Amino acid sequence: MINGSSASSQLASRNRHSFELLFLDLTLTNAKMSAFRPTFVAMGGLLWKNPWRLSSSRKMRVRERLKNVDEVIDTLRRSQVSLAALDRALTLPKESEMEPRDKYTTFSKTSKGYRKSVHKVPKWTRLTLRENPRGF
């Protein structure tokens, strides 16, 4: 029985491999004939299509997000709750006080010009990117 099970597992892996090749061949031929050709990750294509610049609508949502955070901080300040995180948040500049350069870009030691767009930062919608090092 041991030999029979190993033979069946070899046959199953051979069948799976031939199925994968057939599937890859079919997807490649279908991609050649269709109007919209996807880029396959396994063939060096991009998985995430990320634009290199923020559009005006995405900039608008950045400003809205900053304003919403400012409202939450202001509400907590008015409720007179004492928190260390609130004290840190009160030192940050408000959206109206920030320059456009600081709203849409952040410091990056590896980027040319030491700045990169905020949407290139992983999890950028959940991070506080309001402060940059002095001089940058």
Assess whether pLDDT exceeds 90 at residue 27: no
Q: Tell me whether residue 130 is in a domain.
A: no
Rounded average pLDDT over 82-109:
95
Question: How many domains are there within the chain?
Answer: 2
Average pLDDT over residues 97-123: 95
Residue with tokens 């202001």: 74
Residue 50 lies in a domain: no
Determine the straight-line distance between the first and last CA of the chain, rounded to whole angstroms: 71
Is the Cα dihedral 68, 71, 73, 76 positive or negative? Answer: negative
* Structural domain boundaries, residue 108: 56-120
pLDDT over 80 at 119, yes or no = yes
If asked whether residues 62 and 110 sit together in one domain, one would say: yes
Nearest C-alpha neighbor of 103 from the set 134, 122, 128:
128
Calculate ∠ Cα 62-99-132, nearest 5°. Answer: 85
Residue 22 lies in a domain: yes
pLDDT of residue 71: 98
CA-only gyration radius of the chain, Å? 26
Which pLDDT value is given to residue 121? 94
Instruction: Clarify whether residues 10 and 64 are in a common domain.
Output: no
What is the mean pLDDT of the segment spanning 19-43? 58
* 96-99, long-range: CB < 8 A, 24+ apart: 98/66, 98/130
| pLDDT tops 60 at residue 29 | no
Q: Does the structure show a pLDDT above 60 at 78?
A: yes
Q: For residues 54-66, b (16+ Cβ closer than 10 Å) or e, as one string?
A: beeeebeebeeeb
